[in-house]
Structure 1
Amino acid sequence: MAKDPSDTNPRNWRKSVFVRQTAFVFLVLPLVIVANLAVWAALNQPYQAESWTGEIVGLSYSPFHDNREPTKDVQATASEIDKDMKVLSNTVQAIRTYSVAQGQDQIPDIAAKYGISVALGAWIGTDDESNLKQIDRATELALRRNVVRVVVGNEALLRGDVTVDQMIRYLKIANSKIWKPVSTAEPWHVWLEHPELAKHVDYIAVHILPYWEGVPINRAVDYVFDRLDDLHKAFPNKQIVVTEVGWPSRGKVLPRVPYPGMPAAEKGGEATPSIVNQARFLRAFLNRAKDQDLTYYVIEAFDQPWKGADEGAAGSYWGIFNAEREPKFPMAGSISEQPGWRVWAAIAAGLSLVPAMLFILRQRHVRLAGIITFSLLTQIAGSAVAWAGLSVAGLYFTWGGAIVWSFLFFAQGLLLIVLMAEAIEFVEVIWTRRGERHFEPFEPSHPTPEHKVSIHVPIHNEPPEMVRETLDALSRLHYENFEVLVLDNNTTDPEIWQPVWEHCQKLGPKFRFFHLENWPGFKAGALNFGLEKTAPDADIIAVIDSDYQVSPDWLKRMVPYFDKHDVGFVQAPQDYRDAHESMFKDMSYWEYAGFFHIGMVQRNNFNAVIQHGTMTLVRKEALKKVGAWAEWCICEDAELGIKLYRHGYDSVYVNHSFGKGLTPDTLAGYISQRFRWAYGAVQIVKHHWDALAPWSRKGGLTPAQRYYFLAGWLPWFADGLALMFTFAAIVLSAWALYNPASVVLPVAAFLIPTIGSFAFKFIRSLWLYAVRVRDCGFIESVGAGVAALALTHTVAKAMLNGMITTSKPFIRTPKCEDKPALAAAFIQVREEAVILALLWGLTTALYFNPHFADSHSRLWLAVLLVQSVPYASAVLFSFINVMPSLFRRTKNDEQKALVSAD
């Protein structure tokens, strides 16, 4: 063991660190929080706009509360209407209604109590009998003193419910019965397209809604009055009443929709719904309408959540009051998009404060720069959660929407926990002081230990020549007291296993060969058989894979650690000798290296390394005490490490290569190996949950061991969540294409789990490789990242499979396979290729769909493209594997790899 040479007085050093870090908690951490709050304040600066201090001339009014839909034959009650009129009595002079059915015929009488005039609406739909009943009832109500005009039909022509001739018929009937002014309400372009309609109305009832045409907010009010000018020119002798005008506070961002003859100055831009924009529009419009003595009805008095299903996402949010009858914004003074942002900013700071304080007070081995970095990262994470919550504050949810958003927020929270765990590892690796648990190989001059080592070599259908090379390397060990047990596990072809048996006989009595037929338990079963056949005087069990060629000094320089009686196992990293053969193997080599030179080194500081089943040395007494190798688990090596820790044994990890094996020849083999590792991790977590649970107070694991085992596997669980996010994005994108007007793509719930986490992991990976993985340049680091991304879908499947199943057969990682045919480039990654095609296809379809030409939708496209990166990496990596001639390495690359292999 080697200690930090600067620690001349460890007690004083720890005390000074504790004092400094405690001071940091009370001095610097508040500054970080204040900086975060300042960012929130800067992003939520109130908007200054001209004020409106008078009464509003008119508002359109629907009396339906909550999510009650008039299409489902609900009745508006007199008490609800009365409460609404009381709210509006100090705000508006008149209201406009849409129908006289479902209790809405009570509105004129109740409005009269509060001195509110009514523009009475008669609904015109596809049913002629119902339409005539509407006109008859409107005729009766038009006798009320406060009914000032009648509107027969609302956008009936725009919807196509009636023809122009049918509408003219209804207008003639109404005019013959009603002595108040009569018209029908349609958008401005319908009036211009059907000027004959104007001959049968007393006034032009027009809808001018710039939002639906994608007019930018800074042009919206001018646009309304420009369209009014067009109508005045077309119908100079008709009064014009604006029966719908307004702007929504929430909904979909709409691109500009061109119309025939559109001036060049109006082209381009998009309409963004927001509270600030709604207030800006209304204040400016009301002031200008007053100057021009315009009669108008702003849409609308109260938000109507039920309209979202019919009119798109914005349909629910046109009210100047929300559905709870509370004003959304003031008519004078500054306007804030999120008046409650301070609460959410406090939530962000609070969510960040606890993990930051725990980290600062517990991780005393981390330098000040690391503490500051982690504190900043926690503030960013807390703000991300709060911002996502703020983005849905005030939304009206259906049960389905509430379930979808609840899942998205739950999954987002889990992913942020994973990112925090990765941030801890990042900070610890970059800014950790070298601790007492740093191990180096014993010097060759150290006396040869007396421990007898039994080396177990499990094989199954392995190429005989490769196994012979492995055994030859073992025969050259600079260690006298050892034996080798070759455990052939269910190889059925004698031509494969017999040459190995014959070679063992040539190597002498130290090498024993066992051929097991129909043997249960896979690799673990074979190793347990070997344990029974181990020489009685052997006290150390070593395991190496059949492709490993060990260094002669392996045992001599590692076994002495067992002189410390609480050491249960001693581990050296896996290494590979064939990286120079192809770009595929080079990328695989560096991807493996990240685990052994970053994660394992960091875990060793806390006695929490993953026990991997090759280049490992295990105390035989400990192995038997914990129940030997677990035949129920397809990662029996990692499971053994957990058991040894639970029984109080120590571990040693020496980051020095003592043997080199072979990387998989194909991506299929690479994938099957990673599936086994990930699935086995879930098996282990489920089996040992009583010890691994963060709240566990039993089970033999230290808090650090519990944390590092869970934190080490959390990124794999996050891949499972990411796959669910990907499927959710695919479904939402397809639904948006099917129903573009009604779907608001939930960008806020996807930005952090996709783009944010990808950016963080990319930077983190490159930084860690630069610091900890020697001889790995920038290009190699990127290649390792591509290889890791290519395995994302495999890991996700393994984790999800592991959660719902209890066992999978042992998956062997094949070696020395022939290169697959070109068709295998897609066969190896067929699922990834299908998902990639879906993501890119949906991205293309959304990009060229005019409904999604806005900036908000472009962010969603960025989400889809980032989600596609792992799948594109898998397809690219597969082509690199099967078409090495297209991905040749330079001679310099090959020489560098050969030096590394040596």
Structure 2
Amino acid sequence: MIALLIAGGVAAAHFALWAVSNRPVSVIEPLDYIDGFSYSPYRRDQTPLKGKYPSYADIEADMKQLGGIAHRIRTYNSTENPEVSDLARQFDLKVTAGAWLDRNKEKNRREIGAVLADARLHDNIDRIIVGNEVLLRDDLTFPEMYAYLDEVRNATDLPVSTAEPWHVWLKNPELADHVDFLAVHLLPYHEGVPVEKAVDYAMARYLELVEAFPGRAILISEIGWPSKGPTLQAAVASEQNQARFVREFLHRALCKNIDYFLIEAYDQPWKIDIEGWAGAYWGMFNADRELKFPLEGTVDRNSGWMDDALLATVFALVPMLLLCLVQRGMSVGGQLWMCVLVQSCVTAIVIAARLPADYYFTLRDLTALVGLVFGVVLTAGVLLTNGFEFAEVFFKPRWRRAYKPAEPLPPEQQPFVSVHLACCNEPPDMVIATIDSLAAMDYQNFEVIVVDNNTKDEALWKPVEARMAELGPRFRFFHLPQWPGFKAGALNFAMKQIDPRTEVVGVVDADYVVTPDWLSALVPHFRDQKVAVVQAPQAHREWERHFFKRMCNWEFDGFFRIGMHHRHERNALIQHGTMTLVRRARLEESGNWSEWCICEDTELGLRLLERGDELRYIDRVFGRGLTPASFAALKSQRFRWAFGAMQIMKGHWHALVGKSQLTAGQRYHFITGWFSWFGDALQFMFALGAIGWTAAMLIWPKMFSLPVTIMLAPVLGLLVAKAAMGPILYRRAMDCPWADIAGASLVSLGLSHAIARGIIAGLTHKRGVFLRTAKGKAEGGLAKFFQPIREEMYLLLALLSAGGAMLALRGTDSVEVLLWVTMLGLQSLPYWAALACQFIAQLPEKPAPASAKAQVA
């Protein structure tokens, strides 16, 4: 019942929010009468640009519909669709016939001949307009235009004019000497006038013309407002604004007996290719001949809101209900939080997916939309998985599988443990420190096997060999000059050398200093025969005096304090290659360490889970290693992890989605656990796409348009929500000051490109190269500063150039331009973060306190 109340409450609130934000508005009501429409007969899939013309029946249906609400129509072309005038006469419609003129002189001759012939044949043609905005487009010179006008006037008794915007007439009054009336375009939307002032503005321009040309007849040959399109300064294209403008103008025109044509009768999707995407939406009817708004009564802000709201509510209700039932152990606040996230994500997906029903997309636009919907779905998946983790940390009363310390074992009952350490080209002092810490453990039955593979320099491995010899027979060292399999190959070699008594195998990295009780505290957990792995967290030392190392430390620590608990609840641990203990029998039965995968530790953990084993996480630090020495080393490490993750996904896909002993919770974590990394790859692809689309918009502005605001808003909203959850979660789950939270967030963002490259490489390549993470002192030098981040810098410069060019060429008056530039700016953040990380990594370490120096001395 509680689950139903929560899910139902969120669904009801969601629908109510749609209803409140789309309440009908009252607009002035004219008489149900329209003097005239500009008319183009093309339907949704028809275009003169490709020779796809409407049929006789199509035009007949249009004339029947328009004849019921208007007195006249205006046409633009006389050689295309010649049956319009005759069909208009059948439905008592007067026609102002148009001849289309451009730079093609031969085509112009045909148009002039056709319009004159049409006028002679049809008595319902009462005016002729020669050319439409020809002078505005600069297709013809004024003398050329005068010649065409004079020719037509001499050939007919009908009134003749040419159609131009109001300012063309005012700036060129001599044009009026060659016409019988002024055909004027008044389009306040194109001039950035807000809709509440638009009719007054249009009337003011009309009166200017009346005063400038006293006694001359004036026809408003185009006036209207688009229902969709880019925001131009203060002019917002919407159905509500179109209804307001048209109804206010019709009322004013009736009062003042103004002669006009509304632009236009029907939406013309084909005009997107020549006018941009606003050009398709000037019709009072849509392309399917459905009235967009009534001429009386209230007007909906968004006529399609009910469909969107119902779809989003219905599609979200079932998953919200199931989530509440599955997560009954979570508090009401947590269930409510997750339901709100689910509803928000479903709404964003529905809005994006339904856009083709509301817009006339070209194939280019649809291609972009497919990418956008895909991006919204993946972003929603990332947000939901992060939100679930957020809910468990914030709202779950306690961790169900939070293990307490195990009872210690007396020496005679201690299982024998073989500890393995693989190293390659490591600083010998660092490795010896690790070995010495192992020698100091308070555990009786253990051995240490060190395998140095592929190190050529004897100065690196000889001191380690000497120290191992000093520690006695249970410390054994092997140097392998040439050995395959990277770290996994070295660990498999160690497995062949182990003491026959070994029951547990431990692995520790070459830079870790372990606590004396590592084995004595953790080995007792193996008394439970279901346990195959006991994992302790990775932790670091010597990071306090350098801010970059602080950043790395806290960024690593977040996963072990938050993510590992979250996964441990459903026995879905990520096994790590250090501070890990594995039951020998399970390791050997499963095939030892996989040399085909560069993340052999995580791959082994998943393999054991597929067998039904238990992996146990003990959240207590038993050893500390060194943070990566440089940002380049950190990037290399994260690339390797991302690459290995994709290897694991591909290698275990059948087990993850098919028949195996994995539980639903384990499948969930291993499928969604890398969603954030997929998000990094998606961000990289979107950045490249945004750069390319920006270039295309600037080079071919009529072919490539700005995405509508509603297309970008869900993506930006989801990204902002995801970005906000991380720092809040850190603050809640960790004893970490805000400065370190900011540092961890910065390094996480700065690694985005390295992760993206790792994900893409892992999906496209079968095998990877194991690159060790440098822990020693990094090389300096300003000349090498940009080398590790050169790709990030190329992308940053490209995004900044794209945004700057967009602002310079399109200006700052359009909301769509500003939103697009904002999106480019957000996409540049990972590359700014990489630059900042590289800079911080070069800063010198703070000097050790005097007390610490004295202790060293």
Report the TM-score when normalising by structure 1: 0.91
Counterpart of 1:666 (choices 622, 627, 630) is 630
Contact 1:825/1:875 (<8 A) preserved: no
Task: Say if 1:847 and 1:161 are closer, same or farther in 2 by CA, change over 3 A.
Answer: closer
Counterpart of 2:822 (choices 838, 854, 862) is 862
Please list, as runs of the form range in 1=range in 2, the aligned pairs for 1:810-825 lying within 5 A after superposition.
810-825=770-785
Letter of the structure 2 residue corresponding to residue 777 of structure 1: P
When structure 1 is superposed on structure 2, of 761-770 and 78-87 the one drifting more is: 761-770
- Structure-1 residue corresponding to 2:77: 99
Counterpart of 1:49 (choices 1, 17, 27) is 27
Letter of the structure 2 residue corresponding to residue 120 of structure 1: A
Contact 1:449/1:560 (<8 A) preserved: no
1:749 aligns with 2:749: no
CA distance in 1, matches of 2:434, 2:633: 20
Give 3-state SS (helix, strand or coil) of 2:626's partner.
coil
Give 3-state SS (helix, strand or coil) of 1:271's partner.
coil
- Structure-2 residue corresponding to 1:898: none
Letter of the structure 2 residue corresponding to residue 831 of structure 1: E
1:120 aligns with 2:97: yes
Give 3-state SS (helix, strand or coil) of 2:529's partner.
coil
- Structure-2 residue corresponding to 1:201: 179
Please list, as runs of the form range in 1=range in 2, the aligned pairs for 1:374-523 lying within 5 A after superposition.
374-389=338-353, 393-442=357-406, 449-523=413-487
Q: CA deviation at 1:761?
A: 2.7
**Any gaps of 5 or more consecutive residues in structure 2?**
853-857
1:51-82 CA-to-partner distances (Å, cap 9, x unmatched) read 12232111111122224322334444322221
Letter of the structure 1 residue corresponding to residue 94 of structure 2: S
Q: CA deviation at 1:316?
A: 0.7
CA distance in 1, matches of 2:400, 2:37: 75
- Structure-2 residue corresponding to 1:155: 133
- Structure-2 residue corresponding to 1:10: none
Letter of the structure 2 residue corresponding to residue 205 of structure 1: A
Q: CA deviation at 1:446?
A: 6.4
Task: Say if 1:75 and 1:702 are closer, same or farther in 2 by CA, change over 3 A.
Answer: closer
1:293 aligns with 2:293: no
1:231 aligns with 2:206: no
Contact 1:171/1:182 (<8 A) preserved: yes
Contact 2:348/2:376 (<8 A) preserved: no
When structure 1 is superposed on structure 2, of 297-306 and 49-58 the one drifting more is: 49-58
Q: CA deviation at 1:447?
A: 6.0
1:751-781 CA-to-partner distances (Å, cap 9, x unmatched) read 333x32333233322222223223x112111
Letter of the structure 1 residue corresponding to residue 721 of structure 2: F
When structure 1 is superposed on structure 2, of 66-75 and 723-732 the one drifting more is: 66-75
Letter of the structure 1 residue corresponding to residue 188 of structure 2: P
CA distance in 2, matches of 1:179, 1:716: 74
Contact 1:252/1:743 (<8 A) preserved: no
Counterpart of 1:728 (choices 681, 689, 700) is 689
CA distance in 1, matches of 2:482, 2:363: 55
1:595 aligns with 2:559: yes
- Structure-2 residue corresponding to 1:336: 300
CA distance in 1, matches of 2:733, 2:114: 82
- Structure-2 residue corresponding to 1:900: none
Give 3-state SS (helix, strand or coil) of 1:183's partner.
strand
CA distance in 2, matches of 1:293, 1:760: 54
- Structure-2 residue corresponding to 1:711: 672
When structure 1 is superposed on structure 2, of 74-83 and 139-148 the one drifting more is: 74-83
Contact 1:454/1:484 (<8 A) preserved: yes
Letter of the structure 2 residue corresponding to residue 396 of structure 1: Y
Letter of the structure 2 residue corresponding to residue 117 of structure 1: K
Task: Say if 1:449 and 1:732 are closer, same or farther in 2 by CA, change over 3 A.
Answer: farther
Counterpart of 2:728 (choices 767, 771, 781) is 767
Q: CA deviation at 1:528?
A: 0.4
1:85 aligns with 2:63: yes
- Structure-2 residue corresponding to 1:11: none
1:205-246 CA-to-partner distances (Å, cap 9, x unmatched) read 111111111111111111111111111122113111111111
Please list, as runs of the form range in 1=range in 2, the aligned pairs for 1:469-868 lying within 5 A after superposition.
469-693=433-657, 696=658, 698-740=659-701, 743-753=705-715, 755-774=716-735, 776-868=736-828
Q: CA deviation at 1:715?
A: 1.3
CA distance in 2, matches of 1:183, 1:310: 24
1:310 aligns with 2:268: no
Q: CA deviation at 1:891?
A: 8.1
CA distance in 2, matches of 1:890, 1:43: 60
Q: CA deviation at 1:390?
A: 5.2
1:36-60 CA-to-partner distances (Å, cap 9, x unmatched) read 1111111111121011223211111
- Structure-2 residue corresponding to 1:65: 43
CA distance in 1, matches of 2:272, 2:413: 78
CA distance in 2, matches of 1:228, 1:746: 32
Give 3-state SS (helix, strand or coil) of 2:229's partner.
coil
Letter of the structure 1 residue corresponding to residue 231 of structure 2: V
1:796-833 CA-to-partner distances (Å, cap 9, x unmatched) read 12112212221111121111032432233322111112
CA distance in 2, matches of 1:412, 1:448: 59
Q: CA deviation at 1:449?
A: 4.2
Please list, as runs of the form range in 1=range in 2, the aligned pairs for 1:319-358 lying within 5 A after superposition.
319-358=283-322
1:129 aligns with 2:129: no
CA distance in 2, matches of 1:177, 1:44: 54
Please list, as runs of the form range in 1=range in 2, the aligned pairs for 1:136-175 lying within 5 A after superposition.
136-143=113-120, 144-175=122-153
Letter of the structure 1 residue corresponding to residue 272 of structure 2: G
Task: Say if 1:327 and 1:451 are closer, same or farther in 2 by CA, change over 3 A.
Answer: same
CA distance in 1, matches of 2:748, 2:137: 53
Letter of the structure 2 residue corresponding to residue 665 of structure 1: A
- Structure-1 residue corresponding to 2:87: 110
**Any gaps of 5 or more consecutive residues in structure 1?**
1-22, 256-269, 896-902
Letter of the structure 2 residue corresponding to residue 862 of structure 1: T
CA distance in 2, matches of 1:67, 1:891: 76
Contact 2:379/2:719 (<8 A) preserved: no
Counterpart of 2:167 (choices 153, 167, 189) is 189
- Structure-2 residue corresponding to 1:35: 13
1:581-635 CA-to-partner distances (Å, cap 9, x unmatched) read 3100000000000011111122222211111000000111110000000000000
CA RMSD of the aligned region, Å?
2.1
Letter of the structure 2 residue corresponding to residue 40 of structure 1: W
1:832-873 CA-to-partner distances (Å, cap 9, x unmatched) read 122222222323333344444223332333222222222211
CA distance in 2, matches of 1:820, 1:238: 81
Task: Say if 1:432 and 1:383 are closer, same or farther in 2 by CA, change over 3 A.
Answer: same
1:214 aligns with 2:192: yes
Q: CA deviation at 1:889?
A: 9.8
Task: Say if 1:54 and 1:439 are closer, same or farther in 2 by CA, change over 3 A.
Answer: closer
Give 3-state SS (helix, strand or coil) of 1:588's partner.
helix
Letter of the structure 2 residue corresponding to residue 616 of structure 1: T
Contact 1:736/1:745 (<8 A) preserved: no
Number of residue pairs matched?
A: 852
Contact 1:464/1:496 (<8 A) preserved: yes
Q: CA deviation at 1:319?
A: 0.8
1:132-165 CA-to-partner distances (Å, cap 9, x unmatched) read 2222222222122101101111111111111000
CA distance in 2, matches of 1:314, 1:443: 73
Task: Say if 1:361 and 1:782 are closer, same or farther in 2 by CA, change over 3 A.
Answer: same
